[in-house]
Structure 1
Amino acid sequence: MKQSKTLKVSAAALTVAALLAGCGSKDNSSGGSSESSDSVTLSMTFAESLFAGVHEDLIKEFQSKHPTIKVKAETLPDGVIYDSLRTKISTGEMPDLYQINIGHVTTDMANKGGYIYDLSSLESSKNYADSIRKATTLDGKTALFSLGVGVMGFAYDKKAFAEAGYAAPPKTWDELLDLGKKLKAKGKDLLVYSSKWETGIANVFHWTFGAKAAADDAFKKAYLSNSLDFSKPENRALVEEGFKRFKELNQYVRTGSFTNEYSVAQQAFANGDAAMLMGGTWEAGALRKLAPNMDLGFMNLPYSAEDKNPYIFVPEDGIAINAKSKNVEAAKTFLNWLFSKDTYAKIQETKGTFSAQTGVGKLDESYAEVPKWLETNRVVSFANTGPIPSATWVALGNAAQEYTFKDDLNKAVDKFIAEYDKTKQK
């Protein structure tokens, strides 16, 4: 099954330009929809981290302006949101509004089930740059309004790094492992991440594949089209390399990361239990709320030499409308308001995310270097699971876990390749 279209590198440049253009103020809450005089209750399902906790205040504000429309929010742990949505899709019990990611297999399921409403006619669609609209288009439909765009990487505690002898982030893989060793001697973990977040466990492999894609156009084309031939020794060797790197890094990963919810990983980082947190440029607001006194930084994974290392560009999750809902008009009114420039600016400020809307938002200071990253020719753009279907990506992470504990490299690699070949585009 072919995944959704991947982002183009130009999206990064347009997004940065939009971010630096200044804040907008137009409220598009009424455009593209009409409000009925009858009372309506909208159901909305999303992961607890998506709005960084500001959703309750926003819903109250909306309802004060639109008293005939009530919004009932169902928040779920990040680790189960997509499992829950797949169940809802299969049973036909979909909410009026729901969270999706343009590159996730769940989105393809929702689209095939007829649950994706085309948002292009909504006034707030105009708030997004053309590149972002294209990146969130599925079968000709604007599938979602994204909460942000961003770059995968690692929030880090500058003080913890400095105390271990690193005034700046490690620039090589060996330096990263050296930092892990020094922190471990002080009783601190290098890294915490969330593997219960469905695709989180294998995120190191974005750099494994990304480094190769940044240097090899033929590989990049095959990777992004889900048509890699792992019978080629060089491609198999690449997976082996990723597994070995994964195992090396896990010497210094906080115990429990394989079963962490995202919020648990964030809290462990904020508590000072680990010096780094795997994530991206969409969580500074949440981290500053959890650890207001931390000198927060953000770094790329030093997988390859600095002048060859890739930057992993991704679209953030967003909200879609159920096309089969009986309350589509009310849902349009709410979504238009929620993603008007004024309201979106409040969300963006709370989350500290990379803005997805033209002229809206302020970049968190910890992300100050990121725009420069996006000016290089080493940006590899794809959604969270990339062109590899999410079930196969999860299998990759599970196989890497097994290798970490059982040390059978060939068996682990064979497991991933077998899963990949099931969905490979011929």
Structure 2
Amino acid sequence: MRRLRAAAAATLVTTLAVTASACGGGDGDGGSDGKSSKTITYWASNQGPSIQADKKILTKELAKFTKQTGVKVKLEVVPWADLLNRILAATTSGQGPDVLNIGNTWTASLQATGALLPWDQKNFDAIGGKDRFAEAALAAAGAEGKDPAAVPLYSLSYALYYNKKMFADAGITEAPKTWDELVEDGKKISKGGKTWGLGAEGGNLSNNIHQVFVLAKQHGADFFDADGKPTFTSDGAVAAVKQYVDFMAKDKIIAPGNAEYAQNQSLQDFSSGKTAMVLWQAASSTFEAHGMKPEDYGVAPVPVPSGTPGADKQTNSMVAGINMAVFKNTKNLDASQKFVKFMTSDAEQKLLNKTYGSIPPVKAAQDDAAFNRQDTKVLKETLLNSASPLPQVPSESQFETTVGTAVKELWADAAAGRKITTENVKERLNKAQQQMPK
């Protein structure tokens, strides 16, 4: 998932719970011979460099599906900044899609409303079985102990991207494996305010959450307890947020202007040689769109406190990605399931994930050579071995808003030259926790 609007997040559970029964588009069921003249509606998320690029990519694939099944698909590619608001509007108006993409971190919040089709054994069997999907991807498809509320479509994880020339010019011979090494390397590069060691997106609430969630894991903490209650002010959570903001406030390896970044500006700075490193999900297509060649940058696992990435305190990414959901009250369940089956077929998984630079959540598709290149191999191994899903709790969306905003405010303090202390980090996180649903 990329971004989440605060106003939409705050009203997500309440609005969907009241209006979920209004959803379901298309022209109704018809035909029993495997083909029909039905039409289903599909809201796709913006995965490529532009809306138009996605339309071009997906329209070709949807034509294959129509040829195979006779089911037509009315496609709309929705920008991430608008997607959740569109979901809420659809539930109010009754003009919702049959099938839609959702950021996987939204899944538990949407699941709690009852708006989405549960993927029980019968529904999974209709698309080839649950065991086709990687466990890591399924872990971000709904609350533990419940049937998933969506099916994994594109999987992502974070990696450390670094500029090879800037590293060489600074005498750095390999990517940092620990945070101490990253800070040391960043200081070698951050000289005179012209170049900086690391980029960040301080104004991007979701990205803030992704980074501090991983750091909290490394500090042996989480932001929720076993009962789903927020624990934002635990020692580990406070230490994680402070460590992240201190890259600017204390270590001086992030430019102050990054405190306001929220729209991929850090990727642009990396591509233009202003910053030497960036922590991001699959980003190679963005770099190349800004004139950076594949040989200009390297890809390595996100640093850990010590040793090599793994589980628990060696976690180095959240489980990122896109899930595909079906509104429970669709009038076109059979056709919608056929479409999900098509999109998660081995062939489509290979093609689409190659195109978007993501990793197939379908295990059989992961053996393709395209997912064993330097960059994609790092993402795949991270996803399978050292990534952890964000808390699968109903209030996850509010967590992204409240804690993401607290981190954003701390970035602003750091950019203004104010000292970041454990006490004021804890104060901000306590304020965020007070805003959570009781």
TM-score range, shorter chain: 0.7 to 0.9
1:120-269 equivalence runs, <5 A: 120-125=124-129, 128-129=132-133, 131=135, 134-135=138-139, 136-138=141-143, 140-185=146-191, 187-194=194-201, 197-213=204-220, 219=221, 223=225, 226-227=228-229, 229=231, 236=238, 239-245=241-247, 247-248=249-250, 251-253=253-255, 255=257, 258-262=260-264, 264-269=265-270
Q: CA RMSD in A?
A: 4.1
Q: Give the aligned residue type for 1:365.
A: Q
- Bigger shift: 158-167 or 195-204? 195-204
Task: Identify the residue that residue 375 of structure 2 maps to in structure 1.
Answer: 366
CA contact (8 A) 1:101 1:107 kept: no
1:338 Cα offset (Å): 1.7
- Bigger shift: 75-84 or 198-207? 75-84
Aligned counterpart in structure 2 of residue 335 of structure 1, from 313, 332, 340: 340
Aligned counterpart in structure 1 of residue 87 of structure 2, from 58, 71, 85: 85
Q: Distance in 1 between matches of 2:320 and 2:394?
A: 13
CA contact (8 A) 1:147 1:356 kept: yes
Q: Distance in 2 between matches of 1:414 and 1:72?
A: 48
CA contact (8 A) 2:134 2:361 kept: no
Does residue 296 (structure 1) correspond to residue 297 (structure 2)? The answer is yes
Change in CA separation of 1:370 and 1:69 when aligned onto 2, cut-off 3 Å:
closer
Aligned counterpart in structure 2 of residue 76 of structure 1, from 67, 75, 78: 78
1:10-89 equivalence runs, <5 A: 35-49=34-48, 53=53, 56-64=56-64, 66=66, 68-89=70-91
Does residue 390 (structure 1) correspond to residue 392 (structure 2)? The answer is no
Q: Give the aligned residue type for 1:97.
A: V
Change in CA separation of 1:274 and 1:79 when aligned onto 2, cut-off 3 Å:
farther
1:341 Cα offset (Å): 0.7
1:314 Cα offset (Å): 0.7
Of structures 1 and 2, the one with the larger relative CO (CA 8 A, separation 6+) is 1
Task: Identify the residue that residue 23 of structure 1 maps to in structure 2.
Answer: none
CA contact (8 A) 1:120 1:141 kept: no
Change in CA separation of 1:274 and 1:92 when aligned onto 2, cut-off 3 Å:
farther
Q: Distance in 2 between matches of 1:249 and 1:96?
A: 49
Deviation digits for residues 9-58 of structure 1 (CA, Å, limit 9, x no counterpart): xxxxxxxxxxxxxxxxxxxxxxxx97553242523242344999455334
Secondary structure of 2:190's counterpart equals helix
1:307-322 equivalence runs, <5 A: 309-322=314-327
CA contact (8 A) 1:399 1:413 kept: no
Task: Identify the residue that residue 420 of structure 1 maps to in structure 2.
Answer: 433
1:420 Cα offset (Å): 2.4
Task: Identify the residue that residue 278 of structure 2 maps to in structure 1.
Answer: 277
Q: Distance in 2 between matches of 1:288 and 1:225?
A: 44
1:229 Cα offset (Å): 4.9
1:194 Cα offset (Å): 4.2
Q: Distance in 1 between matches of 2:232 and 2:256?
A: 32
CA contact (8 A) 2:183 2:251 kept: yes
Change in CA separation of 1:237 and 1:259 when aligned onto 2, cut-off 3 Å:
closer
Deviation digits for residues 153-184 of structure 1 (CA, Å, limit 9, x no counterpart): 32222233222221211244344234334433
Change in CA separation of 1:346 and 1:54 when aligned onto 2, cut-off 3 Å:
farther
Task: Identify the residue that residue 344 of structure 1 maps to in structure 2.
Answer: 349
Report the TM-score when normalising by structure 2. Answer: 0.71
Task: Identify the residue that residue 115 of structure 2 maps to in structure 1.
Answer: 114
CA contact (8 A) 1:102 1:143 kept: no
List alignment gaps of at least 5 residues for structure 2.
1-9, 11-31
Deviation digits for residues 368-396 of structure 1 (CA, Å, limit 9, x no counterpart): 456776797xx452238899723223322
Q: Distance in 2 between matches of 1:317 and 1:372?
A: 18
- Bigger shift: 48-57 or 136-145? 48-57
Q: Give the aligned residue type for 1:66.
A: T
Task: Identify the residue that residue 362 of structure 2 maps to in structure 1.
Answer: 357
Q: Give the aligned residue type for 1:394.
A: T
Q: Distance in 2 between matches of 1:355 and 1:310?
A: 20
How many correspondences in the alignment? 386
CA contact (8 A) 1:385 1:393 kept: no
CA contact (8 A) 2:406 2:429 kept: yes
List alignment gaps of at least 5 residues for structure 1.
2-32, 214-218
Task: Identify the residue that residue 7 of structure 1 maps to in structure 2.
Answer: none
Q: Distance in 2 between matches of 1:233 and 1:198?
A: 21
Secondary structure of 1:400's counterpart equals helix
- Bigger shift: 307-316 or 317-326? 307-316
1:88 Cα offset (Å): 3.5
